[in-house]
Chain A
Amino acid sequence: MQLTETLRARRAEKDILLMTHLVLGYPSLAVNREVVRQMVDNGVDCIELQIPFSEPVADGPVILKANQEAISHGLKVRECLEFAAEMAATHKIPFLFMTYYNILFKYGVEKFFKKAKEIGIQGFIVPDLPPEEGEEYLNLAKKYGIAPVMIFAPTSTDMRMRELAGYGEGLVYCVARRGVTGAQTTFDAAFHDYLAHCRAATNLPLAVGFGIASKADVEVLKGKADMAVIGTATIRLVEGKGPEAVGPFIAGLR
């Protein structure tokens, strides 16, 4: 799959890749546009565009608020798709959609895949869709050549990880700890042990997210994972210091 190959090629040249995340429409698509430009200019390898949903259960307070404000300002899924098309056409790196299943379901799952393929989106992350419920989704992912990103958790057994890896493409998203997005993660022995289990379960690139916010955090992942995922940290940064602060922050992470 295209995403897997792109990430492997980039990984061959760098110790660790960076995936960043933003919530579309928060604080506005105009600010999103500037943030993406700064991210790409400063070398991020992959960007996760979150299409807001009113019930983002896997997200903590910062991303929850971003979702709800974007929706209350009237953001429509149609605008998210248009914006994503523009980003994918403008920038050379892979873009993924992160969202909750109801957004696909309501749009029409096949229609959504078709549209995403058309606009150049390379993968989906849908945290509330386990493979057991995703038969149609997984078949369509194959049909349209979009990577269905699987999620590993610290509670996943080795058997479960291998099972998940069998469904996945592109990369595996390893949730660094229990809980929702936004809180701190401690990189203790248990964490390193968990990453070793993730590594043993799949050859797909491993991305680690939840609580990764600094150069030191990224450093910890070198040699153990392929990609660090920066989520809440940039949203906080944009809230506090504006989109101009994103470039220097990203540049300082590696």
Chain B
Amino acid sequence: MIKPGYYGQWGGAFIPEILYETFRELNATFARCQADKTFWQEYVELMSTYSCRPTPLTYAENLSRHFGGAQIFIKREDLNHTGAHKANNVMGQGLLVKRMGKKRVIAETGAGQHGVATATMAAKFGFACTIYMGEEDVQRQRPNVFWMEKLGATVVPVTSGSRTLKDAINEAFRDWVANMDTTHYVMGTVCGPHPFPAMVAWFQSIIGIEARKQIMQHFGKLPARVYACVGGGSNAMGIFQGFLDDREVELIGVEAGGKGIATKQHAARLASPDASPGVAQGYKTMFLQDSDGQMCDTHSVAAGLDYIGVSPILTDLWEKGRVRFAAATDAEVMAALDLTIKQEGIIPALESAHAFVHAFKEAGSLSKDEAIIINQSGRGDKDIFTIAHAFDDPSWKAFIREKGKQYAAD
């Protein structure tokens, strides 16, 4: 018999005793919401009025011509309110929090998209909000820190460990074990202890439900392949769920190859031989860890993919051969970003650009009467500093110098 919260041998709920009752309540509320059809209706209604659902499926005509193979479609999660798929999960959990009657939400964030989405939801629903963010990510995603604070959230930079996403998750847990009576932890991805993987996957399934309908409408048949970047795995699980039962649709998850798999400076859990089974942050999955079980420092240009673990649901699908994994390097990501901006006038987030890299590598080898879908999980605006720096943009640098001078003179 498979225990609840397990996907094959992966998942579980490795929680401290102090949270036992909190999880009991959370599981019960989640089960009630899933059984209540009006809950999903309320969710879809909210997402179509407060956000821009259904998000469009854009035919990338120029990129399709450029590669001369499959017809390329882009699922536009960047057009969600707050600029990424993260809003789907957050607004869903916000409705859950209202039902539980809690008054405060906390969250971890890497790229800052989940933090901004949570701060936005808190502002709309009238919750207090604290966001934990690794100090390194605070530096590289500064625009999102600014917006979180403007939205009324307290942003706490986390200085322990590798100062990235995993450390932010630990700090959020430390807050939660002290404040669970009033506070809900809005986990940002399909990781962590059960029921989070199931819950986040459920809310994100809205992407795949729409995408399947849209590709049938626009193209008349199922796509040959679907590509999504994988940090924790929520946008990937979101779109993949629309096609899991269609065995002819190949699903490809793209992880952060960082400076190259051989350099060990990457965050490829399933696309590299470097990860092994482990239990941390409340769940069992493949982690990038050493032979003692200590977690490694990961690297990616994309803060949202720079993480040691991966969804237990995806690890199971990988083990069963249903999802194929690949990695894209930082350098490949910049090239794909440049090409997409120039060809289509679309600016993907650095995270999303990983999926584009791999789709571009394979598009040319497919025939013109086939389609592929790339899940564009978010928009690149948040990455303006990183992208400008990577392109070594002279006029941007001049502007920053000038601004710096003005502030220094104040």
Contacts and interface: CB of A to CB of B under 8 A. Distances in A.
B137 to A, nearest CB: 17
A132 interface: yes
B293 A103 contact: yes
A155 interface: yes
A130 B178 contact: no
A156 B289 CA distance: 33
Given A55-B280, A60-B174, A180-B177, A107 B20 contact: no
B394 to A, nearest CB: 39
B387 interface: no
Question: Which of the four size classes fits the interface of chain A?
Answer: 35 or more
Interface in A26-67: 52-58, 60-61, 64-65
Given A57-B170, A103-B292, A178 B20 contact: no
A208 B14 CA distance: 22
Contacts of B21: 155-157, 160
A178 B279 contact: no
Nearest to A52: B294
Contacts of A101: 14, 279
Contact of A153 (B18, B166, B278, B292): B18
A180 B280 CA distance: 17
Given A101-B279, A127-B16, A155-B21, A179 B177 contact: yes
Interface string A125-167: 0011110110000000000000000111111110010001000
Contacts of B13: 130, 132-133
A76 interface: yes
A198 to B, nearest CB: 12
**Counting chain B CB atoms within 10 Å of each CB, which of A106, A153, A164 scores highest?**
A106
A71 interface: yes
A153 B20 contact: yes
A55 B14 contact: no
Nearest to B172: A57
A53 B15 contact: no
Given A68-B160, A156-B20, A55 B292 contact: no
B161 A68 contact: yes
A175 interface: yes
Nearest to B282: A128
Interface string A157-193: 1001000100000000001001110000000000000
B323 interface: no
A4 interface: no
Interface of A: 52-58, 60-61, 64-65, 68, 71, 76-77, 100-103, 105-107, 127-130, 132-133, 150-157, 160, 164, 175, 178-180
7 contacts: A55-B280, A68-B160, A128-B14, A151-B16, A164-B17, A175-B17, A179-B178
